[in-house]
Amino acid sequence: MRGTAGSFARVGLPGREAERGLLLLADHHAAFDAMQPLVDALAKRDSRINLLSASAVAATAKWLQSHLAGVRQVPLPYGNRVSGDLYLRRLNIRTVVFLDPARATASSALLRSLKRQAISMITLTASDAGGLESDAPAVRDSEQVILIDEAAANGASGAMTYAAAADFLAALMARDLKPLRQERSLLAAPARALVGMTRSAKNRPMIDWRFRRFATLTDLKRRLGHPATILCLGNGPSSEDPALAAIAHDVLFRVNHSWQAGQRFSRPQVVFTGGRPTMRAVAGAIFGLQSLEAEVRLASARGLNPMVGATEFFNVNDLTDSIRRFDWGHLRPTNGASMLAAAVALSPQRLVIAGIDLFQHPDGSYPWAASGPNAYSPGHSRETELEFILGLLSQYEGEVMIVGDILARAWQRLREVPAT
């Protein structure tokens, strides 16, 4: 990256990245060169990890511009708090991997920015890439030091193969950093206090006019008018299927707010999210959340903001234990999974589902975005998501209608399996 774009990046204003970034840092090009197998393993494992590289050593930075296939070279920010914090946020960095002691690259200012934003720091080296200096700042601040050794990786030695290291890093990329970051917010304490009031039967009526929680299924059913048919729309291409226009429904559920770019179904009664951008962008809908941390974010973004109107919300886990009972491992349910969990818990007579295409639709990931990887983001997986959804639908006693071939075929295959 050269010229104006590079200068903007250094002051902390690189182009914004939607996908989560993993940043490889080193002083010497040999350390990067030894990691090409790791890069290949990460790219094969997860196409939505944005792989980036940087070095403070000019010769190494130049070398990176034409080497290390599958990784984009970026300049480092200037050594001050503002540039470092903005740089990491705009590039959406979730994990930083030091490939050697990186004395020049791992500046004290950058290390402090990484700590402030709760970004995972790992030191990783290959057996043939030279030793590490244990007193180097990057090594001391790392959560773990990993040695790549294909021959010696037998568990006892503590070494890993490239594939095992890729799995480990992918799990780190799946971490939800929002709870860690919001603890540092000035609004964290009052937001938690507000949420605490909504969790108290005694205090809840005092703030319902401003920040209203639906704490039980009965409350939410009453607010939604005891719907007989719920239309659940994910954001996959089948959410724009023309057949949906002829399907009557009482209540519309949607996920996040990218659907605002579409032409139809733009006035949902309930929106499932966990992110501030959606909380700020959506008006007139009840918010469906899946964690206490999301409740605190909603209180901060809306409940304490005098510029927005009254807010209504519920936590899916107050309605059903289906999410808690499922074994997610290191993964998390998507907001689409939460949407279906809530819909099943409400037990309508009919459930209509569309837009849940499991990132396998031939037209891509979203009907309003032709480009971009057609894959789940880190933290979620197609197999886990599908297992959870099919389990939910198997417990549902009403009529299920699925618009979208991918999920419909999976549901049909499950129903055709004879009971044992």
The pLDDT tens digits of the residues spanning 127-153 come to: 655 555 554 666 777 888 888 887 765
Q: Which of 298, 300, 304 is nearest to 285 (CA)?
A: 298
Q: What percent of the chain has pLDDT above 90?
A: 46
| Percentage of the residues of the chain whose pLDDT score is greater than 70 | 86
pLDDT at residue 281, rounded to an integer? 92
| Averaged pLDDT, 334-356 | 95
Q: Calculate the average pLDDT of the chain.
A: 85
Q: 32 or 373, which is more confident?
A: 32
Return the pLDDT at 20.
87
Instruction: Quick: pLDDT tens for 293-319.
Output: 899 999 999 999 988 999 999 999 999
User: CA-CA distance, 180 to 223, in Å (whole number)?
Assistant: 33
3-state secondary structure at position 174: coil
Amino acid identity of 268? P
CB burial of residue 42 (10 Å; 0-12, 13-18, 19+): buried
Among 13-17, 82-86, 338-342, 358-362, name the most confident range: 338-342
Nearest to 103 by CA among 33, 36, 213, 25: 25
**Which domains are present in the chain?**
3-173 (3.40.50.11720), 180-416 (3.90.1480.10)
Q: State the average pLDDT over residues 318-332.
A: 88
For residue 420, is pLDDT > 50?
no
How do beta strands 144-148 and 21-25 pair? unpaired
Amino acid at 64: L
- Bigger pLDDT: 175 vs 207: 207
pLDDT surpassing 60 at residue 156: no
SS (H, E, C) 154-170: CCCCCCECHHHHHHHHH
pTM, whole model, 2 decimals? 0.69
Q: What is the pLDDT of residue 378?
A: 66
Give the model's pLDDT for residue 252. 97
b (16+ CB within 10 A) / e for 62-101: ebbeeebeebebbbbbbeeeebbbbbbbbbebbbbbbbbb
DSSP helix/strand/coil, 9: helix
More confident residue, 380 or 207: 207
Residue type, 38: L
| Residue 47 pLDDT level (bands cut at 50, 70, 90) | low
Query: Given this model, what pLDDT does residue 373 score?
Result: 63
Q: Which pLDDT band, with edges at 50, 70 and 90, does 126 fall under?
A: confident
Pairing of strands 211-213, 229-233: unpaired
Instruction: Give the pLDDT score at 348.
Output: 97
Residue 43: exposure state from Cβ atoms within 10 A (0-12, 13-18, ≥19): middle
What pLDDT is recorded for position 49?
86
